[in-house]
A = this chain, B = another copy of it.
């Protein structure tokens, strides 16, 4: 049984081994740019842990783990173009550094590479892995489309919002776990329970992100708070606030949502104040906790190695407590 650190090292080594060569056309340069930025590599780790629940031959899950990490980074490259984002993890985004066209094209090549890596999985489980991955990848696109649509919509309901974060964020974590289980030879019910664990944990993570963006401590999160408020982003907090606001609070919210010129800090303070009055912080925490609990109900139904159960529980707790 490999420890968390050993799995991390195994993946880092594999990632390095599979690093793309620099072709004359330069097609892969932007890909190496984003892959070299690092990141927590959560998805491949979940994939490896999940595999190790069912077999000590954890190498079997390296191809799907790499595929998922590549796919995740591919979505970042194209999302950053769509969001016009200049920076990611403190580095220039791909399209800022190489131009939009190169970012579109190298993103496309990343998606193809994703499949190439996935095809290196053990033959007997490849069809099941491809099926899960295809569906998940389409779901992620669907989630991104919903998120883009929300920008132009007056009102977004809570079920719509929860569905969006499920598709855009949660299903890829879920698929990482399910695909690791498949590669490890898990029975279908176990693979499905792990998917459900990941899906619920993913929703809880995103709700936590929403909370941290407004209520986090910059010293702990490493980010300024209030970004979502400044962008009028339809998060759990704003949607809940608009749902529960009285007349006066609604007027304040709508004033700030419509305001064209303002002091950023003033807007952040005013909107946060309404959030506090309406108790949406506690509502978000409570909903987050519900998804978290639901996740572990699913995990409890998974047979498989105890040590890995504990590892998965520890990692999840750590991620849920990262910046509080």
Q: Using CB atoms and an 8 Å cutoff, list the residues of chain A in contact with chain B.
A: 23, 25-27, 78, 81-82, 101-102, 104-109, 111-113, 115-116, 119, 123, 126-127, 130-131, 134, 137-138, 141-142, 144-146, 148-149
Contacts and interface: CB of A to CB of B under 8 A. Distances in A.
A126 B27 CA distance: 27
Contact of A145 (B105, B111, B137): B105
Contacts of A130: 115, 119
B105 A119 contact: no
Mostly helix, strand, loop or mixed at chain A's interface?
A: helix
A111 B113 contact: no
Nearest to A117: B134
Contact of A112 (B105, B113, B138): B138
A105 B138 contact: no
Please tell me how many copies of the chain the complex holds. Answer: 2
Contact of A105 (B26, B113, B148): B148
24 contacts: A25-B146, A25-B149, A26-B145, A27-B141, A27-B142, A27-B145, A78-B104, A102-B148, A105-B144, A105-B148, A108-B108, A108-B111, A108-B141, A109-B141, A109-B142, A111-B111, A112-B134, A113-B138, A115-B115, A116-B134, A116-B138, A119-B130, A119-B131, A126-B127
A187 B103 CA distance: 39
B115 A145 contact: no
A23 B112 contact: no
Given A111-B111, A146-B25, A105 B82 contact: yes
A115 B113 CA distance: 12
A127 B123 contact: yes
A238 to B, nearest CB: 20
B111 A112 contact: yes
B81 A109 contact: no
Contacts of A23: 142
A113 to B, nearest CB: 7
A27 B144 CA distance: 9
A302 to B, nearest CB: 27
Contacts of A145: 25-27, 102, 105-106
A23 B149 CA distance: 13
A149 B101 contact: no
A287 to B, nearest CB: 23
Given A108-B111, A115-B130, A134-B119, A148 B82 contact: no
Contacts of A141: 27, 105-106, 108-109, 112
A101 B100 CA distance: 11
B25 A108 contact: no
